């Protein structure tokens, strides 16, 4: 799927930009791996090696296992990964298990796209940041957009502004269906030096509460480069 290039958008369309970016991430995320990917990523063990490496009961002793060996073989938890906006205007940190997904989108207004590497209910938790046209009254625009995106039968919740490196970012949450999956989305709007940045964070509804701290950490890590 290819999104249209950036152009001036009304307030509701501005909020929708992040949701459209989500559709691209979702579509790509659900693709099954190719046979080559499965083959290359699945470790194999030669039968002869597996047989010859089995422990010989005759040489088993009562010695306690070496704790240092067990420690060295434990998986190493990666620290946060720093991602820079495509225009260099800011940087954020994403969890170590996440990955950069900017190559999955094709819209010059999208400055950052990242997603979890673990799928839940055929969906990858993800974040997208778009650059939008400046709006005068940010709080009113956020509330109006939330109402229009939710529609007459939808529900949304307005959020208290969150700090973003010296700026205040109002926002809202709503739930929508994406390919048959109930997705909980949070949008935060950040106005900085005459530019509006819209952050869209998406997770399956069942994981909304558990994944919320991830967005908090991303916003807390936000650093302007001006």
Is residue 65 pLDDT above 90, yes or no? no
Answer with the residue of higher pLDDT: 63 or 13.
13
Which token pair is 208? 């909304």
Q: How far apart are the C-alpha atoms of 107 and 3, rounded to whole Å?
A: 6
| Over residues 174-194, mean pLDDT | 90
Cβ atoms 176, 156 nearer than 8 A: no
Whether the per-residue pLDDT at 216 is higher than 80: the answer is: yes
pLDDT given at position 27: 47
Cβ contacts of 126 within 8 Å, gap of 6 or more: 22, 25, 29, 101, 113, 114, 115, 116, 201, 202
Domain regions of the chain by residue span: 81-224
pLDDT at 10: 60
Check residue 32 and give its pLDDT: 44
How many angstroms separate the CA atoms of 83 and 86, rounded?
9
Give me the mean pLDDT over the 185-211 stretch: 94
- Could you tell me which residue, 205 or 33, shows the higher pLDDT? 205
Across residues 196-221, what is the average pLDDT? 95
Buried b (16+ CB within 10 A) or exposed e, 45-82: eeeeeeeeeeeeeeeeeeeeeeeeeeeeeeeeeeeeee
Q: What is the pTM of this model?
A: 0.73
| CA dist., res. 109 & res. 3, Å (int) | 10
- The tens digit of pLDDT for each residue in 87-112 reads 999 999 999 999 999 998 888 889 99
The widest CA-to-CA distance across the chain, in whole angstroms, is: 80
Model pLDDT for residues 114-159, shown as the tens digit of each residue? 999 999 888 999 999 999 988 889 999 999 999 888 887 778 999 9
Res. 160: pLDDT tops 80: yes
pLDDT at 22: 64
Packing angle of the helix pair 138-150, 11-29 (nearest 10 deg): 60
Write down the pLDDT at residue 141: 92
Q: What pLDDT band is residue 190 in, cutting at 50, 70 and 90?
A: very high
CATH topology of domain 81-224: Protein Transport Mog1p; Chain A (3.40.1000)
218 neighbors 162 (Cβ within 8 angstroms): no
**97 vs 179, residue with greater confidence:** 97
What percentage of residues in the chain have a pLDDT greater than 90? 49
């Amino acid at each position: 799927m290819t999104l249209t290039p950036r152009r001036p958008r009304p307030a509701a369309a501005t909020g929708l930009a992040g949701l459209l970016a989500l559709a691209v991430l979702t579509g790509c995320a659900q693709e099954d791996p190719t046979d080559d990917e499965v083959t290359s990523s699945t470790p194999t063990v030669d039968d002869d090696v597996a047989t010859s490496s089995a422990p010989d009961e005759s040489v088993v002793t009562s010695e306690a296992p070496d704790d240092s060996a067990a420690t060295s073989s434990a998986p190493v938890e990666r620290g946060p990964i720093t991602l820079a906006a495509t225009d260099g205007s800011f940087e954020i940190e994403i969890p170590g298990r996440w990955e950069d997904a900017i190559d999955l989108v094709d819209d010059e207004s999208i400055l950052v796209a990242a997603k979890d590497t673990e799928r839940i209910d055929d969906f990858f938790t993800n974040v997208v940041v778009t650059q939008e046209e400046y709006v005068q009254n940010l709080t009113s625009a956020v509330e109006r957009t939330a109402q229009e995106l939710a529609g007459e039968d939808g529900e949304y919740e307005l959020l208290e502004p969150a700090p973003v490196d010296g700026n205040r970012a109002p926002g809202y949450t709503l739930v929508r269906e994406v390919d048959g999956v109930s997705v909980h989305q949070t949008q935060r709007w950040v106005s900085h030096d005459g530019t509006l940045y819209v952050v869209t964070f998406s997770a399956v509804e069942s994981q909304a509460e558990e994944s919320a701290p991830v967005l908090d950490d991303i916003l807390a890590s936000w650093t302007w480069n001006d």
